Structure 1
Amino acid sequence: METLVDNDSGCHSGPTAFEVEIGDRNFEFERVEVDDAVVTGAQVAMAAGKLPVEDFVVLKHLKSGELESLRPTESAELSRKDTNRFFVIKGGDVNRFFVEGLSMEWPRAKLLAWQIKFLAGAGEDKSLVLERDGVDQVFDDADEVDLGGNGTERFKLRKRRKTVTVIYGGDIEFELERRAYTTAELIAVFGVPEGYRLDLIGADGVFREMAPDESLKIRDGMEFGSHPPIGQSS
């Protein structure tokens, strides 16, 4: 819902108003209009209905993709040409991180990979990658990314592969198109014996039988197995 805000005389929309997008921790946005060409962090928080303003961190999403915090008394210029985007998040200390050299701040310890990509202006064709000690960790968009460690995390963006490699039966590799598959499709791809049940093997080594009507978005390195129905010998 669009909220129209006039800092001097109540709520109205005028031809001189500046449109502002204000996002929350879930990256859900509302649009507000303000008459001032320069706003303070406190004004942004109040426009979003977040009080007391001292309990919230205001972040300006710069045109470059960077995020920078805005103190309650600190001001920021608005633009009629570019998107004026802010985040107002309840929290205290901010966690700093970098994406392709872009400086980011966030007042919570975790973000989803797609949210970090959104901030950096990356599209569906890019994957978020954490490079550490020579080992790359590639995140799917729905993965939760921990920003609250002792150091400052530095992420890269890499062209997303169109395929992923999964393992069936302990050592048989299959290179599959990156998408969601039904249980029946995976059974056919792996050549699971007729009547057997398909298992997804978790990172902890625990087997979980997939439901017949289940749909699963596959990821690199996923492992699968199979077993005969209960009461049937293998």
Structure 2
Amino acid sequence: MNTTNSNQTTERQYQLKIGIGGIEFQPCAIDDPVPTGRQILACAGVNSKEGWSVFAILPSGDFEDVRLDETFDLRGKGTEQFVAFQTDRDFKLTLKGNQLEWGKPVITGRELGKLANLKEDEAVFLEVPGGEDRLVEENDVISLTEPGIERFIVAAKPKPGYEIFVNGRPRIVEDEVVTYEQVTELAFPGQGGPQIDFAVSYRKAASAPHSGELVKSQSVTVKKKGTIFNVTLTDKS
């Protein structure tokens, strides 16, 4: 069996992964080692008339604009990833210090995570100048239309659970719904009894009202971090 032609064909082809309108990459192969943006789109089955933007995802994580009639050298770089958008506007953002250009006015947490090549113990955060950086969950949708460039960083994934503050001390609870009984036990472990009552106040809750008093058998929905409880002992005798 003669395999020479087959091997030569394989050697001439360059393997690409192309995401059309996002990060759902599809594989394709191209013979030209220096294709134009139009050829890259054609590889993915796209009729590349005007109105398309193509970006190469470099090993560094940066995006490089590939014009439709300009070439991109594939040689020596192995498998290349590209994203393409049918749009008349590109939106800039930074991720892990790398500048990206996105062809849609929004980007999801899932797309950011995939572009960042997150490890299992990492998460994406939206930088908030002068404030606390916001955790971007997989299903979150972030607008890129605000003034300025949105900046995203990668840091350690927060521990599971909800961080509340009880009498000034941080405590972790597993569920977002916290009861009067849970809070009083966290404040005064093992000190409850028939002659003991507690006065419980809270603020910065996720549920409405966001502040108030909590009594027996009641509960409140807390934020991921920062709901505050104050608990004092009341002697019924």
SS in 1 for 2:224: coil
Q: 2:139 matched to which residue of 1?
A: 142
Report the Cα distance in structure 2 between the residues aligned to 1:149 and 1:157, rounded to whole angstroms.
21
Identical positions, percent: 26
- Paired residue total: 186
Report the Cα distance in structure 2 between the residues aligned to 1:219 and 1:23, rounded to whole angstroms.
36
SS in 1 for 2:16: strand
Q: 1:120 to 1:79 in 2, by over 3 A?
A: farther
The Cα offsets for residues 97-117 of structure 1, whole Å up to 9 and x where unpaired, read as 112220110011111123123
The 5 A counterparts of 1:112-151 are 112-135=108-131, 136-151=133-148
The 5 A counterparts of 1:91-170 are 91-135=87-131, 136-165=133-162
- Cα offset, 1:86, TM superposition: 0.7
Report the Cα distance in structure 2 between the residues aligned to 1:26 and 1:204, rounded to whole angstroms.
35
Q: 1:16 to 1:155 in 2, by over 3 A?
A: same
Contact residue 38 and residue 48 of structure 2 kept, 8 A? no
Q: 1:133 to 1:45 in 2, by over 3 A?
A: same
Report the Cα distance in structure 2 between the residues aligned to 1:95 and 1:151, rounded to whole angstroms.
10
The one-letter code sitting in structure 2 at the alignment partner of 1:110 is: V
The one-letter code sitting in structure 2 at the alignment partner of 1:123 is: K
Give the superposed CA RMSD: 3.6
Larger-gyration structure (1/2):
2
Report the Cα distance in structure 2 between the residues aligned to 1:84 and 1:18, rounded to whole angstroms.
8
The Cα offsets for residues 138-164 of structure 1, whole Å up to 9 and x where unpaired, read as 212221122221211122211112233
The one-letter code sitting in structure 2 at the alignment partner of 1:89 is: F
Q: 1:131 to 1:79 in 2, by over 3 A?
A: same
Contact residue 91 and residue 104 of structure 2 kept, 8 A? yes
Q: Could you tell me the TM-score, scaled by structure 2's length?
A: 0.65
Where does structure 1 lack aligned partners over 5 or more consecutive residues?
1-12, 193-201, 207-217, 224-234
Q: 1:220 matched to which residue of 2?
A: 224
Where does structure 2 lack aligned partners over 5 or more consecutive residues?
1-8, 184-204, 210-221, 228-237
- Cα offset, 1:68, TM superposition: 2.2
The one-letter code sitting in structure 2 at the alignment partner of 1:85 is: Q
The 5 A counterparts of 1:33-112 are 33-79=29-75, 82-112=78-108
- Cα offset, 1:76, TM superposition: 0.8
The Cα offsets for residues 19-64 of structure 1, whole Å up to 9 and x where unpaired, read as 0101122421211111111111111112222224312211111111
